Every structure is written in structure tokens, then in C-alpha cells.
Amino acid sequence: MDMALGDHEQTSNAANADTRPLAIEARGLVKRFDDFLAVDGVDISVPEGAIYGVLGPNGAGKTTTLRMLLGIIDPDEGVRRVFGHDRPHDIARLIGYLPEERGLYPAMKAIEAIAFMGALRGLPLDEGRKRGLELLEAHNMAGAAERQIRHLSKGMAQTVQLLGTLVHRPRLVVLDEPFSGLDAINQGKLERLIRKLADEGTTVIFSTHVIHHAERLCERVAIIAGGKVPYAGSVEAARDRIPAQVRLETRAREGAWMEALPADARREGDFFMFSLPDGGVEPLLRRLIEGEAGILSLSIERAGLHDAFVHIAGEAAAAELGNGAGQELD
């Protein structure tokens, strides 16, 4: 008998998130552009050291929200604090920001581009060059240090801009759609880098319209749809909004034991599918065994973040997310 429980809960710091100081706190953010309401009452709290995802379709208000959090634009209403400061520009040296619109000077050498970006955050140029070379070496790109940006591949240029975002060793890293345009290999490298930053105590917040990046990386997410945040909290709590499903296969096709199955049980081929009973599966197992159902397999399958997004934000927002993500959505 196969008794796989499947999809065990990920170990995370989510349970301790409320006890950690907040890197970012936003309450009631509102932003209008002429007659267009881009962000409508957004609340977000990002604990220090967390990997936090802002998840939603293109045009949902993700970039506008990030720019307000960073002080690039001011909200029309609401407040935001970064490490307790009302004016994020005053602590710009603590923040690294990679915008969605990538941009480097084509004639600038890679090492100089990294040093220049660090200088914008207060890092001396000589120190920026030294750290930049160390970062390039760590990413197997030391040979590109003296090459002009125009002579680098798109992926290498994006890596240079990312390293420039990190060269001053910020406490908070904000990445707007960082996976956009990267192939699978470079997406994997970026995921590993994000995890490394968090392991070192850096807070990372990134926006994405691709669910599997958020599900693999994030401890907490904010779901944005139509400029609103219908959900902000742990990934686990979002998934738990949909009851776990039990998948049961029995040797016997029918019998008195079927009366033990929950009312929502349905047959799908050789399997019965139903919501996990409130009391767990142990009482059900006893009745199935006593009734000689002949259990061949039983698994408990929790909802994925995509299903949680549909449940929370609605089918229309999920369809927009899917259209934006293309084949990357899973």
C-alpha cells in the first residue's frame, strides 16, 4: 500500500515573520495618473531577511507600487517606511534597485558600469571596481570585465546590471520583473543568487507575473490585481485557503465502506477525489480498512500557488497572468 502524503510543507521562517523588524511597511498607498487609478489602497509589510514576491499580471500596479516604496514617486495617499524611514531617498545607500526597464551605457566597460552604479549609491569608484571584479569572478564573467556593454550578450549585460545593483552591498534589494528575458539557465542562476542574498540576511522583494518563481522562492507574497491587494501573507497560508485534496485508490470498486467517504467524493478513473476531512484521514482510514476496501494508494495533495491566485484574485486576473506569462506559467 502506497501512503505518500506528497507535497510536504516547506520549511520556512514564515511562522516567525511577525516577530522580525520590518524592512518595508506600507499602508493605504494610492496613486493616480490623471484619471487613471493605478494603485488603490495597497498594504504591504516585508520582514527583514525575507524573500517577498509581488505577484500579478502586467499592468496590475506592481511597478508603481515598488516605485512608491522606494520613494521614486510619492503616493497620493498613504504612508510607506523603509527600515523605519519615511523618506527612502535618505537611506538610498542601503537599497539596491533593478528596474524593469534595463539600461546601461553601451560604450561603458562592464567593470566601469558596475562601479558607476555603486557610486550612485555612495560607493567610491575604486572600491566599486574592486568589488565589481570580485562579483564578476564569482559569476564566471571575469573575462568580460574590460569588454564594452555593446559587445556582451543580452544575458551577460543583464547580469552586469544586476551586479551593479548589488555592488554596494545593500540591506534591501528590489527587483522589478528580474526574470524577464532570461533563459532557463540564467533564471536558475538568479534564483540561486536571491536565495544566497536572503541567507546572508538581505531582504529581497521582487515583482513577477510568473507564478512558479514566486512559489519556489518566496516566503511571503502580495497578490496585486487591478491596483488592489486582495491578499498579502505567507505562501503557505495562501495555499491553505483551498482545502487539501485526498486522492484514494482502492482494490474494491464498491461496498459498504463507500459510506465513509465524504459527501464531496467523486470518482475520477480509478481514483476517488475529495477534500481532506476536518478530522484528518486517520478516522477514514480505519473505516476503509474495517470495510475491506483494499487501499492501494492514498495521497494528500495541497493546492499550488496558481490555484490560490485564482481563488483569491479571480479567474479574470489569473487569465491575464497566464497571458503575460505565456508558457512560463505552471
Residue 135 in contact with residue 166, Cβ under 8 Å? yes
32-36, 125-129, 240-244, 322-326: which range is least confident on average? 322-326
Cα end-to-end distance, the chain, whole Å = 30
pLDDT digits (tens, 9 = 90+) for 265-293: 999 999 999 988 888 889 999 999 999 99
In the prediction, which pLDDT does 15 show?
A: 42
In the prediction, which pLDDT does 244 show?
A: 87
Between CA 327 and CA 68 the distance in angstroms is: 31
Between CA 125 and CA 308 the distance in angstroms is: 46
Record the pTM: 0.80
In the prediction, which pLDDT does 313 show?
A: 80
pLDDT for residue 125 is more than 70 = yes
Q: In which residue are the cell numbers 542562476 written?
A: 189
If pLDDT is split at 50, 70 and 90, which confidence band does 18 have?
Answer: low
**Grid coordinates belonging to 13:** 521562517
Taking the CA atoms of residue 79, residue 85, residue 89 and residue 92 in that order, the dihedral angle to the nearest 10 degrees is -130
What integer is the mean pLDDT of 41-48? 95
Please report, rounded to a whole number, the percentage of residues in the chain having pLDDT higher than 70.
Answer: 90
Residue 111 in contact with residue 129, Cβ under 8 Å? yes
What integer is the mean pLDDT of 189-205? 95
In the prediction, which pLDDT does 316 show?
A: 64
Residue 52 in contact with residue 222, Cβ under 8 Å? yes
In the prediction, which pLDDT does 4 show?
A: 41
Residue 214 in contact with residue 235, Cβ under 8 Å? yes
| CATH of the domain spanning 14-239 | 3.40.50.300
In the prediction, which pLDDT does 322 show?
A: 60
Domain extent listing, the chain = 14-239, 245-301
pLDDT for residue 142 is more than 90 = yes
What integer is the mean pLDDT of 155-169? 93
Between CA 118 and CA 116 the distance in angstroms is: 5
Which of 127, 160, 158, 128 is CA-nearest to residue 143? 160
If pLDDT is split at 50, 70 and 90, which confidence band does 8 have?
Answer: very low
In the prediction, which pLDDT does 304 show?
A: 86
**Grid coordinates belonging to 255:** 461496498
In the prediction, which pLDDT does 325 show?
A: 44
What integer is the mean pLDDT of 296-319? 83
Residue 322's alpha-carbon distances to 206, 229, 316, 317, in angstroms, are 18, 18, 10, 9
Which of 303, 152, 286, 301 is CA-nearest to residue 215? 303
Between CA 177 and CA 173 the distance in angstroms is: 13
Task: Look at residue 261 and give its three-state secondary structure.
Answer: coil
Helix H or strand E segment including 211: helix 211-217
Please give the DSSP secondary-structure letter assigned to residue 295.
E
pLDDT digits (tens, 9 = 90+) for 210-248: 888 899 999 999 999 889 999 999 999 998 888 888 999
Chain center to CA of 158: 20
pLDDT for residue 148 is more than 70 = yes
In the prediction, which pLDDT does 10 show?
A: 37
Between CA 37 and CA 32 the distance in angstroms is: 4
